[in-house]
Amino acid sequence: MKKEPFVTKEQLDEIVKTYPTPFHLYDEKGIRENVKALKEAFSWNPGYKEYFAVKATPNPFLIDILKEYGCGCDCSSYTELMLSDAVGVRGEDIMFSSNDTPAEEYVLADRLGAIINLDDITHIEFLEETIGHIPETISCRYNPGGLFKISNDIMDNPGDSKYGMTTEQIEEAFRILKSKGAKEFGIHAFLASNTVTNDYYPMLAKVLFEQAVRLQKATGVHIKFINLSGGIGIPYTPDQEPNDIRVIGDGVRRVYEEVLVPAGMGDVAIYTELGRYMMAPYGCLVTTAIHEKHTHKEYIGVDACAVNLMRPAMYGAYHHISVMGKEDWPCDHQYDVTGSLCENNDKFAIDRMLPKIEMGDYLVIHDTGAHGFSMGYNYNGKLKSAEVLLKEDGTTQLIRRAETPADYFATFDCFEIGKKLLEY
C-alpha cells in the first residue's frame, strides 16, 4: 500500500528553483478542508471551539488560516502566548494549558485574558500569589489514573503521566477556587496520544462528562466547558484506516445526550485542542538524495536530518516515504535512509523497501505537518529549514525562512567571539 503525496514531482521541480531542499511544505487546501470537516462534526454543540495546539506547528501563517474558521490557540509556554497575541488571538480564544509553570507565564496569560487550565492543586496558591487574584473563569486538568482501555486494548497509561489532578484533588480544587471567586469552571483531560480509532473521543467524553456531573453536584459550581484536548491521531502507516471525524463528533454527541443532558447540563460547551489531527497529514519534509553507501547495509544519505524531523530518531516513529517520480515503481530495494548527524539514530527509515533511488531524487517524507519542524534542534550546528506553503492555487509562499549561521551564533552577539562569528 502507498500514500499519495499532496505535491507532484513536476511541482517540486519548480519549487526547488526558489527554495532549495530540505524544506517543510504545507498543503493549504488540505488544512482548510480538514478544519471545515471538524467544525461540521461538532456543529451540534453551540459552544464548540477548537483550540489549535500551537506546540504542534508554531507558525503564524498556518495559525492565521485556522483563525479564519474561528479556531483559538492552545498554548503552553511564554513564546506560544506571544505568538497567539501577535496573530490577534487573545482573551478566551487562548487556552493556557501548561505544567510546572513559571510565574512569568501565568502573568502573561492573565494579561492576555487567556483561560488558565491548572495542572495541579498546588498551582492555585501559586497562581493567586503570582497574579494577585483568581480568574472568574478557570479550568482544571483531570487525571483519573490507571490504564485507559478501549475494549481490551490498552490505549495509554494516565497513571504514569505527570499531568493532571486526581479525582479527590480536582473536587477540592473546585471548592477552593469557588471560595476565591471563580464563577465559571472547565474540565480538561488528555488520556491517550495519537489514537487511530473513532472510539477514543467518545470514551474520553464519557469519563469527563460523568466526572463533570459528579463535580457540579458535589461542589455546586457551574461547569461552562469540557475540554477533550487532543489525542485524535492520524494513520502514519499506509495500512491504517484514518479516523472519521464525523463519526467521532456524533459519538461524542450521543454520550453528551446520555450523560449531561439528563443532569441538566445541556449548556456545557465542548472544546478540543487538536494539533496532530489538524496539521500532520498536510505537511511533508522534502529532501534530496545526495549520497549512497554500500557497506553492511544499503544506505541513502539525504540533505535533511533529525534536526528537520526528530520523531524517527526520538521515538522510532514511522513516516512514509515517497520517491518522487517513482511512485509507481516496484519497491524492490531495501535501504536505511539517513541524515548527516553524528548519531546513529539519525535515520528516517530502517530496512525500508523503496524504489531504486538515484542521486538527485526528491524524497517526500509524509505526515510532518505537526511535531515536525517544531521539534527540531541545532545539534552538530545544523540549521533548521525553511517552511513553505503550497497555496490552493498552486503557487507557493515562504512562511519561514531557513536559518543561517548568523541565527545559530546570535546568542554570542554580546561577546567579542560572537562579533567575529557574525562577521564570518
- How many CA atoms does the CB half-sphere of 217 hold within 13 Å? 9
- Judge contact between 359 and 291, C-beta under 8 A: yes
- What secondary structure does DSSP assign to 363-400, as a single string? EEEPS-TTTTGGG---GGGPPP-EEEEE-TTS-EEEEE
Query: Running DSSP on this structure, what letter comes out for residue 29?
Result: H
**What distance in Å separates the CA atoms of residue 122 and residue 126, rounded to the nearest whole number?**
7
For the chain, give the percent of residues with pLDDT over 90: 90
Element (H, E) at 34: helix 28-41
Q: Which CATH number describes the domain made up of 281-412? A: 2.40.37.10
Alpha helices in 190-326 (DSSP H): 200-219, 245-259, 276-279, 311-315
Fold of 28-280: TIM Barrel (3.20.20)
Cβ partners under 8 Å of residue 177, min gap 6: 124, 134, 138, 140, 185, 221
Which pLDDT tens digit goes with each residue over 228-283?
Answer: 999 999 999 999 999 999 999 999 999 999 999 999 999 999 999 999 999 999 99
Q: At which residue does the C-alpha cell 567579542 appear? A: 416
What is the distance between the terminal CA atoms of the chain, rounded to a whole angstrom? 49
- Burial level of 88, CB count in 10 A (0-12/13-18/19+)? exposed
Closest CA to 335 of 353, 320, 323: 353
Closest CA to 81 of 98, 64, 62, 61: 98
Closest CA to 287 of 361, 377, 395: 361
Average pLDDT of the chain is 95
Cβ partners under 8 Å of residue 173, min gap 6: 118, 121, 124, 140, 165
Which pLDDT tens digit goes with each residue over 10-62?
Answer: 999 999 999 999 999 999 999 999 999 999 999 999 999 999 999 999 999 99
By three-state DSSP, how is residue 319 classified?
coil
Write down the pLDDT at residue 156: 61
Query: Running DSSP on this structure, what letter comes out for residue 355?
Result: P
Q: Is 351 left (phi over 0), alpha (psi -120 to 50) or beta?
A: left
**What distance in Å separates the CA atoms of residue 185 and residue 267, rounded to the nearest whole number?**
13
Closest CA to 270 of 346, 212, 332: 212
* Same fold? 28-280, 281-412: no
pLDDT higher than 90, residue 328 = yes
How far is the CA of 248 from the CAs of 201, 233, 243, 362, in angstroms? 7, 12, 8, 36
- How many CA atoms does the CB half-sphere of 221 hold within 13 Å? 34
Q: Domain ranges in the chain?
A: 28-280, 281-412
Which pLDDT tens digit goes with each residue over 127-172?
Answer: 999 999 999 999 999 998 877 766 656 556 777 788 999 999 999 9
Element (H, E) at 321: strand 321-323
By three-state DSSP, how is residue 55 classified?
helix
φ and ψ at residue 162, rounded to 5 degrees? -80, -5
Which pLDDT tens digit goes with each residue over 380-407?
Answer: 999 999 999 999 999 999 999 999 999 9
- Measured at the alpha carbon of residue 124, what is the angle toward residues 122 and 129, in degrees to the nearest 5? 110
φ and ψ at residue 416, rounded to 5 degrees? -65, -40
Which pLDDT tens digit goes with each residue over 62-108?
Answer: 999 999 999 999 999 999 999 999 999 999 999 999 999 999 999 99
Write down the pLDDT at residue 381: 96
Cβ partners under 8 Å of residue 9, min gap 6: 324, 325, 362
For the chain, give the percent of residues with pLDDT over 70: 98
Please report which confidence band the pLDDT of residue 324 belongs to, taking 50, 70 and 90 as the band edges.
Answer: very high
- Burial level of 229, CB count in 10 A (0-12/13-18/19+)? buried
In residues, how long is the chain?
424
Which pLDDT tens digit goes with each residue over 359-369?
Answer: 999 999 999 99
Write down the pLDDT at residue 317: 95
- Is pTM beyond 0.85 here? yes
Write down the pLDDT at residue 180: 97
Write down the pLDDT at residue 155: 59
